[in-house]
Structure 1
Amino acid sequence: MDIRAVVYPLLVLAGGCCYGILSTIVKLAYEQGYTFADVVVSQYFSGWVILGIFLLILLTLRRNRTLTPSHLRTPLLHRVVILLITGAVTCSVCLFYYLSLETTPASVAVVLLFQFTWIGIILESIAERRLPSRTSVIAVAILLIGTLFAGGVLGTEISLTPIGVCAGLLCAFCYAVFIFLSGRIEPQMHPVHRSFWIVTCALFVLLCVLSPEYFTSGTVISGIWIYGAALGLFGACLPVLLYAVGTPKISTGAATILSSSELPVAIITSVIVLHEAVSWIQWFGVLCIFAGIAYPHLRSVGKEKKKKIPKKNLRVK
Structure 2
Amino acid sequence: MKYILSVFLGAVSYGILSTIVVKAYGQGYTLGEVVGTQLLTGFLLAWGLAWFTKWKENRKAMAQAGDPNPTVATAAALTWKHRLMLMAAGMPTAITGLVYYHSLRYIPASLAIILLFQFTWIGVLIQAASQRKRPNGVMIITLIVLFGGTLLAAGVLEQGTGGFNLMGILFGLLAAVSYSLFILFSGKAVPEANPVYRSAWMLTGGLVLVFVLFPPTYLFNGEIVSQLMMFGFLLGLFGAFIPPILFAVGVPHIGGGMSSILGASELPVAVMLSSLVLNEHVSALQWGGVILVLLGVALPELYKFKQRPQARTLSYK
Shared fold (TM-score greater than 0.5)? yes
Stretch of structure 1 that moved more, 174-183 or 111-120: 111-120
What is the one-letter code of the residue matched to 1:44?
L
Structure 2 CA distance for partners of 1:184 and 1:310, relative to 1, 3 Å: closer
1:149 corresponding residue in structure 2? 152
What percent of counterpart residues are identical? 36
Shift in Å at residue 160 of structure 1? Answer: 6.0
Assess if the C-alpha contact under 8 Å between 1:152 and 1:282 holds in 2. yes
Gap regions ≥5 residues in structure 2 = 62-71
- The amino acid that maps onto 1:67 is T
- Aligned: 1:287 with 2:291: yes
SS at match of 1:270: helix
TM superposition score normalised by structure 1: 0.80
Partner of 1:216: 220
Q: Which letter maps to 1:113?
A: L
Structure 1 equivalent of residue 200 of structure 2: 196
Please, what is the CA RMSD of the aligned residues?
A: 3.3
Residue in 2 that maps onto 1:263: 267
Given the two structures, how large is their TM-score scaled by the length of structure 2? 0.80
Distance 1:289 1:140 in 2: 10
* C-alpha spacing 1:35/1:105, structure 2 compared with 1 (3 Å): same
Deviations 1:283-302 (A, max 9, x none): 11121122223222322221
Q: Which residue of 2 aligns with 1:236?
A: 240
Q: Does 1:55 pair with 2:50?
A: yes
Structure 1 range deviating more: 158-167 or 85-94: 158-167
CA contact (8 A) 1:140 1:257 kept: no
Does 2:36 match 1:41? yes
Measured after TM superposition, the shift of residue 68 of structure 1 is 5.4
CA distance in structure 2 between the partners assigned to 1:250 and 1:261 by the alignment: 16
The 1:172–1:248 alpha-carbon spacing in structure 2 relative to 1, beyond 3 Å, is farther
Q: What is the distance in 2 between the residues matched to 1:86 and 1:161?
A: 31
Residue 117 of structure 1 corresponds to which residue in structure 2?
120
Q: Which of 23, 45, 60 is matched with 1:28 structurally? A: 23
| C-alpha displacement of 1:278 | 2.1
Aligned partner (choices 171, 196, 201) of residue 175 of structure 2: 171
**Cα offset, 1:227, TM superposition:** 1.9
Return the offset for 1:178.
0.7
Relative distance call for 1:27 and 1:219 in structure 2 (3 A) is same
Equivalent residue for 1:67, pick from 69, 74, 78? 74
* Distance across 1 between alignment mates of 2:173 and 2:290: 21
Corresponding residue number in structure 2 for 1:81: 84
After superposition, the Cα gap between the structure-2 partners of 1:305 and 1:29, relative to the gap in structure 1 and judged at 3 Å, is: same
Say if 2:95 is the partner of 1:92: yes
Structure 1 stretch displaced more, 191-200 or 161-170: 161-170
- CA change 1:263–1:39 in 2 (3 A) is same
Distance 2:253 2:134 in 1: 20
Looking at structure 1, the residues matched to 116 and 218 of structure 2 have their Cα atoms a distance apart, in angstroms, of: 28
Establish whether residue 135 from structure 1 lines up as the match of residue 138 from structure 2.
yes
Higher deviation after alignment, 59-68 or 42-51: 59-68
How far does residue 216 in structure 1 lie from its aligned partner after superposition? 0.7
Instruction: Return 289-298 or 107-116, whichever deviates more.
Output: 107-116
Matching residue's letter, 1:210:
F
Change (3 A) 1:162 1:295: closer
CA contact 2:149–2:288 (8 Å) conserved in 1: yes
Q: Tell whether the 8 Å contact from 1:111 to 1:147 is kept in structure 2 after alignment.
A: yes
Structure-2 separation of matches of 1:277 and 1:111? 14
**Secondary structure of the structure 2 residue equivalent to 1:198:** helix
Pick the structure with more helix per residue: 2
